[in-house]
Every structure is written in C-alpha cells, then in structure tokens.
C-alpha cells in the first residue's frame, strides 16, 4: 500500500508537500501511523503536522536555511475579545444572494440601467439645484445655466481639443461640450467613465451643443472617523487559493496560530473580534487553461473541505464574514452570490461564520464595512490615467467618487443585469475591504479607510507575465477603538508594524 492510499482509506486529506515528506522516510507506512496518532481527530494534515521531530533549541532553522524564526513556548493566552459580546448587523437588502432574477433578456438590461440611474440620480439630487430632464431641456432651451443628470454613453475629443460627452436620461440624450479652455473641468471630464451617472451644469450655445460649466460626480462628503467604544479589532484576509500548489501553507498556518495567541503581538491577536475574508478562498477548477497542472487538490469539493479545516481552527469568539471571488464556485459576474452550503456545510453550521455575497455590507460594533472581491479593478485600470495594479487601494477612491463599485458595463469582468443594481454604493461605509490583485494597499478617503488585503499564494506564472507584484503573507488589522491600521508580516521574518491613515 502506498502512503496516498493509506490516508485515503482513513478519509484524511493531506497536503502534497506533507505526503512527499512522509514518502521520503525510511518506513513511510509506520511513519504515517505515528503521524495519525500524533494528530488524532484531524482531517487535514499540513507539512508541520507530519514532522514528528521536536525542537530542542530556542531558534529553529527552516528548510530554506536563510531564515531563522523564534520558537515561541506556550504561554497563557487571555484574549480580551473572548469576553466581549459581538455587535453584528448584516444588511441583507444590499446582498444579491437568493435574489437574482436576471434571465439576460432585453428587459433585464433596461431595468438594470434604469435602477442604476435612479439610485445615483437620487444621490445627486440631494446636492441642491433644480434638475431638468433632457427632453424638457432640449424643447425649452433655457437661457440660464441649468442642471441635468445623465449617464455617460460616449466620450471623445473633438478636432479642436474639446471633450464631447454624450449623456442620457430616461427621456432623451444630450451632447455636451467641455471647453478645452476650462482646464479644471477638462481634468474632471477626462476621468469620466462610460456608464457612470453625473450631473452637469451648463447652457446651450447658439447651436445645438450644451456647454458644460460644471460637472458634479455623486462622490461622498467628508465624514468623521467613527470608532468603537470597546477595544476590539478587525483582521482582513483574502485570496488564500487553497488547492493551488503555490498556496503558502506554512505562512498561512502562522496566521492561524497567531489568532490563537502563538507568536508576537499576542495582545493584538487577543483583540481580534472580527475577520473578513474577501474571496478566492480556493484556487478553483478550470479557471484558466492548464490550471490543473498548478493544482495540489484536483477536486473542488476537496479544496473547500481543506479550507474548512483551516477555518475550524479560528477561535469561536471571532465573527467571520466570508464572500466569494472569481476563483470560487459561484458565477463570475458581479454581483456574486454567497458560496453555497453544499460546498462548505461545516462552516454553515458554525454560528460565528456568516456567508455573504460580493459585495457584502456589515456593521461591526457600529462601524460599517463594505466587503467586495474587487475584480472591477480590471475595468478601471485601462481607462484611468495613472491607475495601475501597484496601487489597488485607488479602486476604493474611484468607486466612492462614482458611488459605484463597477461602473463600466461590457468590459471584463461581466455584470449581471439584475433588476436592482447591488453595486451602487448607497450606504457610505467606514471601512472598505477589497482583494483580487494579490497586492496590499491602504488609503483614507474622506474618512473612509480603504484596505486591499493581498494574498496567501506565491506568485503565479500568469502574474509574472502580467508584471504583477504580489505581497503575500501580510495581514492588515484595524483596532476599532482608534482606527489604527496594524500591518503584520508573516513571511521571512518581517516585522510587525502599524500606520495611521487619518
């Protein structure tokens, strides 16, 4: 009997590197029996689980020889968060899960864009000024400056260097000229994206052109930094990609151990009351050509079972909010519904786990958090000058300016034409958590803390081709009493730090 069959018969999942390690021992089967005895009850074994040798010195060398990490001996861990009651509110009405009603008919697209227009138009109408519909404006041709609200359907430069916009509302469409002589207005117009909803103040020229005097994006107003009245913290992770050969199991294990009080800054670990996981829990199956060659776990159910085994080691007093990503077994189109109970049944039975769609909205200790996987960044980058994958936090800033997470329709990734546009940002959050591009990034925009949480997967061949620079093994933790952002680095002995985004 080989070692793989030995574990399969016992219904125990084992990481490939752990399997290889056991197979390299002089008597693999006897060694495997000893491993099971040591790890009684465990259904998923990591490389650390199967190493039976114990450290006899204070410093333990890792396999890569170039890193020495401290061996932390057991101390009593008294997490303050354990004795604090959770205060959680989930905004189900803003989640598509269980409410998808799109069949892809023409009427679905009409209803979708009408809903988007109306929701963002309502935000713009709160800014004062009487708004005229385009049909009435074109008939009456007011002599004074008037305001219209429209969705941008076209943007181009004229031969003379002006910007020409075509906007439309439910009544008609209008061509708007942004004069090149107005540099501040040209700067705003140059950043406008197709399908975003804006207000325009202007008046007709002698011809048929409507000359813009001002362009108003829905944007948010400056808000005060909201803090909690109890000393709890929010940790944020994403893009674990369990099932991939490049999943950084040892480093992720350090994170799980840290939550359980093993390692430095146990004081901060003990404050963690909330954890958000922003998608790509597993690597998935058939996501891109040749992916099967990069998988350690070839079955999607086994990938999610391995994810569950890790999650079950998170302390029960931590409230965990989980959303999907484009590698997860849900539809790729935004908005994405929650991962189904069929895939993660054990987590659905855990009272401290909450499965949300992407985007998902929650309130924790009276601080509102928007969680979105962030795949719309791929439709922002090509159209906004200076926006690249090195600064994923800018996604939050640009989305807030437009009050929409994914304004450009027809670009990758797709948008499902639901009767309600769940991507409109009607509630302004205190914290926004994004993911997807495997790059950590942080910003504060008008009182909103924006975090892109990076990854727990090593760099992939695809990312190398795209010129991406992932930052694996970095954990952002926000202490909610003061909104300080703490950065914990679990890779290659990098130190723990903190920063202020105020």
Q: The CATH number of the domain where 179 resides is what?
A: 2.40.50.140
Parallel, antiparallel, or unpaired: how do β-strands 233-237 and 146-157 relate? unpaired
Looking at the domain assignment, is residue 76 inside a domain? no
Looking at the domain assignment, is residue 112 inside a domain? no
* Cα 493 from Cα 475, distance rounded (Å): 14
End of a domain among 186, 216, 246? 216
Q: Are residues 186 and 249 in the same domain?
A: no
Q: Three-class SS of residue 147?
A: strand
> Residue 492's pLDDT is what?
64
Q: Are residues 232 and 192 in the same domain?
A: no
User: If we measure between CA atoms, which residue out of 6, 14, 64 comes closest to residue 44?
Assistant: 14
Residue, of 15 and 157, whose pLDDT is higher: 157
Orientation angle between helical segments 28-38 and 16-23, nearest 10 degrees = 130
DSSP label at residue 286: S
What tens digit of pLDDT does each residue of 483-501 get? 999 999 998 655 555 444 4
Distances (CA, A) of 97 to 330, 334, 439: 11, 11, 27
The set of residues, in sequence order, having a beta carbon less than 8 Å from that of 98 and lying 6+ positions away, is 337
> Residue 74's pLDDT is what?
46
Q: Are residues 177 and 226 in the same domain?
A: no
DSSP label at residue 337: P
User: If we measure between CA atoms, which residue out of 52, 56, 54 comes closest to residue 36?
Assistant: 52
Which CATH number covers residue 474?
Answer: 3.60.21.50
CB 276 within 8 A of CB 433: yes
End of a domain among 188, 216, 244? 216
Query: Residue 83 — very low, low, confident or very high, per pLDDT cuts 50/70/90?
Result: very high
Parallel, antiparallel, or unpaired: how do β-strands 353-355 and 210-216 relate? unpaired
> Residue 41's pLDDT is what?
75
Looking at the domain assignment, is residue 37 inside a domain? yes
Only one residue has tokens 């694996």, namely 472
* Cα 288 from Cα 286, distance rounded (Å): 5
Q: Is the pLDDT of residue 113 over 90?
A: yes
Q: Three-class SS of residue 292?
A: helix
Q: Are residues 237 and 189 in the same domain?
A: no
Sheet holding 484-489, edge to edge: 353-355, 319-323, 272-278, 233-237, 474-479, 484-489, 497-499
Looking at the domain assignment, is residue 132 inside a domain? yes
Looking at the domain assignment, is residue 117 inside a domain? no
Q: Are residues 229 and 294 in the same domain?
A: yes
> Residue 412's pLDDT is what?
81
Q: Are residues 376 and 488 in the same domain?
A: yes
Q: Are residues 175 and 297 in the same domain?
A: no
CB 481 within 8 A of CB 228: yes
Q: Are residues 211 and 227 in the same domain?
A: no
> Residue 494's pLDDT is what?
52
End of a domain among 216, 244, 264? 216
User: Which range marks the domain in which residue 253 is found?
Assistant: 93-99+222-499
* Cα 472 from Cα 248, distance rounded (Å): 8
- Count the Cβ atoms, other than its own, within 10 Å of residue 328: 28
Distances (CA, A) of 171 to 174, 199, 494: 10, 15, 58
Looking at the domain assignment, is residue 83 inside a domain? no
* Cα 22 from Cα 1, distance rounded (Å): 14
Q: Are residues 183 and 274 in the same domain?
A: no
Domains: count for the chain: 3
pTM here is 0.83
Q: Are residues 212 and 249 in the same domain?
A: no
Angle at 223 between CA 222 and CA 224, to 5 degrees: 130
User: If we measure between CA atoms, which residue out of 332, 452, 357 comes closest to residue 399?
Assistant: 452
Q: Are residues 274 and 415 in the same domain?
A: yes
Looking at the domain assignment, is residue 110 inside a domain? no
Q: Is the pLDDT of residue 57 over 50?
A: no
Q: Are residues 275 and 364 in the same domain?
A: yes
């Amino acid at each position: 009997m080989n070692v793989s069959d030995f574990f399969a018969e016992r219904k125990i999942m084992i990481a490939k590197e752990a399997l290889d390690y056991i197979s390299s021992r002089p008597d693999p089967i006897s060694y495997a029996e000893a491993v099971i005895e040591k790890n009684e009850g465990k259904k998923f074994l990591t490389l650390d689980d199967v190493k039976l040798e114990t450290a006899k010195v204070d410093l333990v060398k890792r396999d890569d020889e170039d890193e020495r990490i401290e061996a932390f001996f057991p101390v009593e861990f008294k997490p303050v968060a354990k004795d604090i009651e959770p205060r959680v509110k989930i905004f189900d009405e803003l989640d598509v899960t269980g409410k998808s009603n799109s069949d892809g008919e023409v009427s679905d697209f009409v209803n979708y864009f009408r809903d988007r227009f109306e929701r963002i138009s309502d935000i713009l109408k709160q800014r004062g000024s009487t708004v005229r519909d385009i049909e009435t404006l074109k008939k009456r041709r007011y002599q004074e400056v008037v305001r219209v609200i429209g969705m941008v359907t076209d943007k181009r430069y004229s031969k003379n260097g002006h910007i020409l916009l075509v906007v439309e509302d439910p009544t008609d469409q209008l061509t708007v000229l942004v004069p090149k002589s107005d540099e501040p207005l040209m700067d705003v117009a140059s950043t406008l994206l197709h399908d975003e909803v804006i207000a325009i103040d202007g008046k007709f020229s002698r011809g048929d052109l409507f000359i813009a005097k001002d362009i108003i994006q829905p944007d948010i107003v400056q808000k005060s930094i909201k803090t909690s009245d109890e000393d709890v913290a929010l940790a944020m992770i994403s893009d674990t990609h369990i099932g991939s050969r490049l999943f950084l199991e040892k480093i992720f294990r350090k994170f799980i151990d840290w939550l359980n009080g093993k390692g430095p800054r146990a004081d901060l670990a003990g404050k963690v009351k909330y954890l958000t996981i922003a998608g790509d829990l597993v690597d998935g199956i058939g996501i891109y050509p040749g992916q099967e060659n990069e998988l350690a776990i070839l079955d999607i159910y086994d990938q999610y079972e391995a994810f569950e085994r890790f999650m079950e080691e998170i302390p029960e007093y931590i409230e965990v909010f989980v959303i999907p990503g484009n590698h997860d077994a849900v539809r790729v189109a935004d908005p994405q519904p929650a991962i189904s109970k069929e895939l993660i049944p054990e987590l659905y039975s855990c009272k401290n786990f909450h499965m949300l769609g992407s985007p998902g909205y929650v309130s924790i200790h009276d601080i509102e958090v928007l969680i979105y996987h962030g795949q719309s960044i791929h439709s922002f980058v090509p159209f906004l000058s200076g926006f690249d994958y090195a600064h994923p936090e800018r996604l939050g800033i640009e989305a807030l300016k437009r009050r929409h997470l994914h304004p450009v329709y027809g670009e990758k990734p797709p948008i499902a034409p639901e009767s309600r546009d769940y991507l409109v940002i009607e509630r302004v959050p205190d914290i926004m958590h994004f993911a997807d591009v495997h790059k950590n990034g942080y910003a504060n925009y008008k009182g909103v803390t924006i975090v892109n949480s990076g990854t727990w997967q090593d760099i992939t061949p695809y990312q190398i081709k795209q010129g991406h620079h992932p930052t694996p093994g970095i954990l952002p933790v926000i202490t909610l009493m003061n909104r300080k952002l703490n950065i914990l680095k679990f890779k290659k002995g990098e130190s723990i730090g903190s920063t202020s985004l105020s």
